[in-house]
Chains A and B, each alone.
Chain A
Amino acid sequence: MTFKPEHELHTRRKGRNIGVGLMLAGFVVLVLALTFTKVTNGDFELPKAEELTQ
C-alpha cells in the first residue's frame, strides 16, 4: 500500500496548522492546570457524605 503524496495545500499551510495545533495543546494544558489548582485550593469541594444523607 502506498501513501498518497501530500497535497500542495497542506505543505503551504503547514506553519499555520502547526501553530493552531500548538495553541490548542497549550489551551488543554492550561485548562488542566486550572482544574488542578481549583481542586487543590478547595474551590470545588464535594458535599460531605452526611450532608448528602440529610
Chain B
Amino acid sequence: MADASYTTPAEEYDTQLGDYFALLKPRVMSLVVFTALVGLLAAPVPVHPVIAFSSILFVAIGAGASGALNMWWDADIDAVMRRTAKRPIPSGRVPAGEALSLGLALSGLSVMMLGLSANLLAAGLLAFTIFFYAVIYSMWLKRSTPQNIVIGGAAGAFPPVIGWVVATGSFSVEAWLMFALIFMWTPPHFWALALFMKSDYDDADVPMLTVTHGRRATRAHVLGYTLPLVLLAVGTGFTAIGGPLYLAAAVILNAMFLKGAFDIWRRDETQAEADAYRVEKKFFRLSLWYLFAHFGMILIEAMLRPFGMGGW
C-alpha cells in the first residue's frame, strides 16, 4: 500500500544533485572563494591549512546559501528574464520550498561552522553578508531602487574582509580597501551587462538604471563610477597589500578599463545597435578579468613577502 504513495509519473522530473548545486550560484561562489582566499592569505597572520580550508569552504557554503535564498525570492522575475529563465526554480527542476529550506539550512550550518573553525567575528560577518544579500538586496532594494546594484554590491564585497578576519580576528584598513575595490567595481560591471541585456530588466520590471533613467544616463554612470574606482585601485598599490607588481598590473588594467568606460560613454544607442553592443560586451568581459587580476596580484605580492620580495 505504502508503495503506491511513492509512485511518481514517469514524466515527473526527479531533482538531481546538480540542480541543488546550481541553486548555490557556483560561478558567484567561485569568485567568493577566490576573494576570501586572497583576504585570508594577504593578512599578516599565518593560518593553519586545515582551518584555512574549512573556513573558506564555510564562507563558500554561506555564499551558496544566500544564492539559494535569492533564487527562491526572485523566482517570479527569473522566469521572465532570458538570462535567468533556465535557473532551477523557474525551469521547474527544484520546487521553491526546497530552495528556501536548503538556503536556510546551509546559512545556519555555514555560520555556525565558521564560528567554530575560525572566530565569532568572522561568523557574524558571514551572517550579516547572507542577510544583506538575501534580505536587504534581494527582498528590498532590487525591486525598489535603481541604486540596487550600488548598495547591493556590498554583499559581494564582504568575502575578502571575512577572509582577513578569519586570519586576524579583527578589521583593518587593508581589508576595507579590498572591500572598496569590489564595491566600486560592481556598478560599472552590472550596468555594462544591463546595457546589452537590453529587454531583460524591462520585461521583469526591475528598476535598473537603464529602465528608470535611460541608457544615456547609464553610460554616464559607468564612466562616473569608473573614475573613483581607478583612483582606488591604483592607490591600493601604495598600501601594505600592494607592491610594485600589483601597481604595474593596476596601471595597465585601469588604463584599459578607463578607456572602455570612456568608449561606452561616448557612444549612443544607434552606434551600439549597429555593432551589436560590441564595446559594452568587451567592457563586461574586461571587468571580469579586471577584478580577478587585481586580487591575483594582491595574492602574488602576499606570496612573495616571505621571500623578501613582495610589497614595498
Contact = CB atoms under 8 A, between A and B. Distances in A.
Interface of A: 7-9, 12-13, 15-16, 19-20, 30, 33-34, 36-38, 41
A19 B8 CA distance: 22
Contacts of A20: 17
Contact of B14 (A7, A13, A36, A41): A13
B6 A33 contact: no
A19 B17 contact: yes
A47 to B, nearest CB: 20
Contacts of A12: 14
Contact of B51 (A8, A16, A37): A37
A34 B17 contact: no
Nearest to B51: A37
Interface string B22-58: 0000000000000000000000000010110010010
B116 interface: yes
A33 B17 contact: no
Contacts of A8: 7
B6 A30 contact: no
Contacts of B116: 34
A37 B14 contact: no
B117 interface: yes
26 contacts: A7-B6, A8-B7, A9-B6, A9-B8, A12-B14, A13-B14, A15-B16, A15-B17, A16-B14, A16-B15, A16-B16, A16-B17, A19-B17, A20-B17, A30-B54, A30-B57, A33-B50, A34-B50, A34-B51, A34-B54, A34-B116, A34-B117, A37-B50, A37-B51, A38-B51, A41-B48
A9 B57 CA distance: 32
B3 interface: yes
Interface in B100-134: 116-117
Given A16-B15, A33-B54, 7 more contacts: A15-B17, A16-B14, A20-B17, A30-B57, A33-B50, A34-B116, A37-B51
A41 B48 CA distance: 9
B146 to A, nearest CB: 40
A15 B50 CA distance: 29
Nearest to A36: B50
Contacts of B6: 7, 9
A34 B8 CA distance: 42
A24 to B, nearest CB: 12
